[in-house]
């Protein structure tokens, strides 16, 4: 075999080795790219699922009979509600309490305040806020449908409702509450009752209704038996 033939064989062998190494590197690179692609896809999918789990409870309807999405009360609305509670006493309930800001604000003013909310995420968050603000001993938050709760033992009732629910809620409250109760409606008034007090403008408007003006509230007179002469 001549030297020329030997060199050509060596060159062919070296070319085959280089090509094989190149193919191996391409295979490893493809595997790495595939792995990164799977990781990225899994990460994006997991993030979307987590966002859905966290956000959905805050924007889905909080009440079953009507569509009532969570819309936080503005600072002005909260102040207007507190204004309607001046010189009032007794237990307070917020129907559809959302993130608990009305309940917490009332508790800071000395009320024993309770919130009813169907959305468990909002209830848990409300409990955390009450603990953080140091009023957890004067507040309670319950996961419940307002139509399944009796409000008969509350004297101060706050409602953030929508027009579709107000007629039925008006009837429910009139049947359940005592004569000394005050109902405070935010954003939308009750359809039949005439408010005793109104404050605020636009979406911050608050209406207060004293139930004694919308139902016959008779006070029972004590019968005094005259003393018999000795």
Q: Per-residue pLDDT tens for 132-146?
A: 999 999 999 999 988
> Residue 150: pLDDT above 80?
yes
pLDDT tens track for 158-211:
998 888 999 999 999 999 999 999 999 998 999 999 999 999 999 999 999 999
Mean pLDDT of the 10-26 span: 57
Distance CA 158, CA 116 (A): 11
**pLDDT tens for residues 207-228?**
999 998 776 554 433 344 444 4
Statement: residue 55 has pLDDT above 50: no
> Strand locations in the chain, DSSP E?
92-95, 113-117, 139-143, 156-160, 182-186, 197-199, 206-210
Q: Say what percent of the chain tops pLDDT 90.
A: 55
Helix H or strand E encompassing 10: helix 3-59
On the question of pLDDT at 20 being above 70, the answer is no
Which tops the pLDDT comparison, 198 or 14? 198
Distances (CA, A) of 139 to 20, 106, 129, 132: 73, 9, 10, 12
């Amino acid at each position: 075999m001549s030297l020329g033939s030997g060199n050509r064989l060596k060159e062919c062998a070296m070319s085959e080795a280089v090509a094989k190494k190149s193919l191996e590197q391409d295979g490893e690179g493809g595997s790495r790219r595939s792995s990164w692609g799977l990781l990225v896809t899994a990460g994006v999918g997991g993030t979307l699922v987590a966002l859905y789990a966290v956000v959905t409870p805050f924007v889905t309807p909080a009440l079953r009979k009507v569509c009532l999405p969570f819309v936080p009360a503005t600072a002005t609305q909260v102040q207007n509600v507190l204004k309607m509670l001046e010189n009032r006493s007794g237990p307070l309930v917020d129907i559809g309490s959302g993130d608990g800001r009305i309940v917490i604000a009332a508790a800071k003013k000395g009320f024993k305040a309770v919130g009813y909310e169907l959305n468990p995420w909002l209830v848990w968050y409300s409990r955390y806020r009450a603990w953080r603000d140091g009023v957890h001993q004067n507040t309670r938050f319950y996961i419940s449908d307002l139509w399944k709760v009796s409000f008969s033992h509350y004297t101060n009732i706050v409602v953030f409702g929508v027009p579709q629910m107000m007629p039925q809620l008006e009837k429910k409250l009139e049947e359940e509450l005592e004569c000394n109760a005050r109902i405070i409606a935010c954003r939308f008034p009750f359809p039949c009752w005439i408010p005793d007090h109104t404050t605020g403008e636009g979406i911050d408007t608050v209406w207060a209704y004293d139930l004694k003006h919308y139902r016959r509230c008779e006070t029972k007179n004590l019968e005094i038996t005259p003393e018999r002469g000795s």
